[in-house]
Chains A and B, each alone.
Chain A
Amino acid sequence: EPEVTQTPSHQVTQMGQEVILRCVPISNHLYFYWYRQILGQKVEFLVSFYNNEISEKSEIFDDQFSVERPDGSNFTLKIRSTKLEDSAMYFCASSEQGTYSGNTIYFGEGSWLTVV
């Protein structure tokens, strides 16, 4: 079964450092997402991406965050200057069509980011 893959599975970084989380969505999917889950809290939407541009972003996704699709397979989330409160599990997801259609989205196994 095709799956969304994410790297790294776990990263520890110092406060103020830049972090790039990488994702390979399912190959025929056109819509890509990042979600995050702070330990013990709910999964929160960060951003959706379609046709090489951001289609929606939440209030969490401020100027320190950016996303990019540098080539035909990777989808990255960059956090420019990490803060302690950025420590969380970051999930990449993809879907064949947009979620407006009720289409299923598939999550990767997550990248656990610890900011110290």
Chain B
Amino acid sequence: RKEVEQDPGPFNVPEGATVAFNCTYSNSASQSFFWYRQDCRKEPKLLMSVYSSGNEDGRFTAQLNRASQYISLLIRDSKLSDSATYLCVVNGPAYSGAGSYQLTFGKGTKLSVIP
């Protein structure tokens, strides 16, 4: 079965801390990778795409290691508003093998930033 695994969490960190999330995926044919953020009982919202070269968006840095099938997200100088569940999402061939792709979500890691 094609799965995406994440740190179970929860992570409770003080404001200003740096926190790292890890994710592994099992399907080596996966094509694209994302981090989504989900607030309690809300829809997932795209935080950033993840590229092999690594990418940064302000306080957020994402890395992809295709050889290890490993994805990471680093949040620097964490804010109270960063409190949410962070979902690792992988786009790969669908279960049917019919040539289409679908997103597979990890269960998410809950982050609580404490004043």
Contacts and interface: CB of A to CB of B under 8 A. Distances in A.
Interface of A: 41-45, 48, 55-59, 89, 91, 98-100, 102, 104-105, 107-110, 112
Contacts of B103: 45, 99, 105
A102 B38 CA distance: 20
From A44, A100, A105, A109, name the one whose CB has the most chain B CB atoms within 10 angstroms: A100
The range of chain B's interface size is: 20 to 34
B102 A48 contact: yes
Interface in B74-115: 87, 91, 94-96, 98, 100-108
Contacts, number: 57
Contact of B49 (A44, A55, A100, A102): A102
Interface of B: 31-32, 38, 41-46, 49, 87, 91, 94-96, 98, 100-108
Given A99-B32, A102-B49, 20 more contacts: A41-B107, A43-B87, A43-B105, A45-B102, A56-B96, A56-B102, A58-B102, A91-B44, A98-B100, A99-B91, A99-B101, A99-B102, A99-B103, A100-B91, A102-B32, A102-B91, A109-B42, A110-B41, A110-B42, A112-B41
A49 B107 CA distance: 24
B96 A107 contact: no
Contacts of A105: 103
30 contacts: A41-B107, A42-B105, A42-B106, A42-B107, A42-B108, A43-B44, A43-B87, A45-B104, A48-B100, A55-B100, A56-B98, A56-B100, A89-B41, A91-B43, A98-B100, A99-B32, A99-B91, A99-B101, A100-B31, A100-B100, A100-B101, A102-B32, A102-B49, A102-B91, A104-B46, A107-B43, A108-B43, A109-B43, A110-B41, A110-B43
A89 B108 CA distance: 16
From A43, A44, A89, name the one whose CB has the most chain B CB atoms within 10 angstroms: A43
Nearest to B100: A56
